[in-house]
Amino acid sequence: MKKVAVVTGAGAGIGKKIALQLAGEGYRVYANARSEKKLEDTLAAGKGYDIIPLIFDVRDLDAIEESFSHIDTIDCLVNNAGVSIRNKGIYDINEDDWDMILDTNAKGYFFVARAALKKMKRGGCIINMSSGAAKTGGDFVSIPYSTSKGAINSLTVCLARELASEGIRVNAVSPGFIDTDMLTLNGQPKDFYSKVIPLGRLGETEDIANMVTFLASEKAGFVTGQIIEVNGGDIMG
């Protein structure tokens, strides 16, 4: 019987790569985005794989519950949906900026996880997408974004503690600078990263998908409550 994974924010970038890699590993993948149009590239790239669109906005709690009600069982949830804005100073951030980012990147993770847990049995796992900005405050990202990722780290540990007795593992992957569209918000040319990252290159979406696939596997069966940095050495220790 196929394992089942749900990947939020699967329309592009890291989420798209994770969805495709898990599908390639034999999972039935429910790929989430806010619209079917946002999933067109993922579905085209995954032709021949078992990928099913799952349309909802992670800020819409009713839509989350309704969407998960159509799934019988879930082995792995990847909470990946996220938004950011170009960095603003303290006095330029408005309430809409704050609410959009925290509602998507933090509150949405909790309510998606809770809906998924109703369909998850012993041996299941949740993998949250964090960021090195949670530790550093972010070199180029906004205060609400860094704050939301710090919340994800805390949420990961809280869920891991509460769910350990049920045999459900919860971890987070913390990407460094990864070559996605969101990177353009930093305003730096790509060759900048080869100079500042110790391993001498910008991260690829596959680097993150590889870690997610490992954490979802039985090889990570004794790993829970961890925030795992995947950043080419940009943050150490």
Active site residues: 145
Task: State in Å, rounded, how far the first CA of the chain is from the last one.
Answer: 40
Whether 148 contacts 106, CB under 8 Å: yes
Task: Strands of 8-99 (E only): list them.
Answer: 28-33, 51-55, 74-79
d(CA 166, CA 61): 24
DSSP type of residue 178: B
Whether 79 contacts 127, CB under 8 Å: yes
CA separation, residue 212 to residues 122, 138, 153, 188, 219 (Å): 19, 22, 16, 27, 12
CA separation, residue 172 to residues 51, 57, 79, 131 (Å): 23, 21, 9, 9
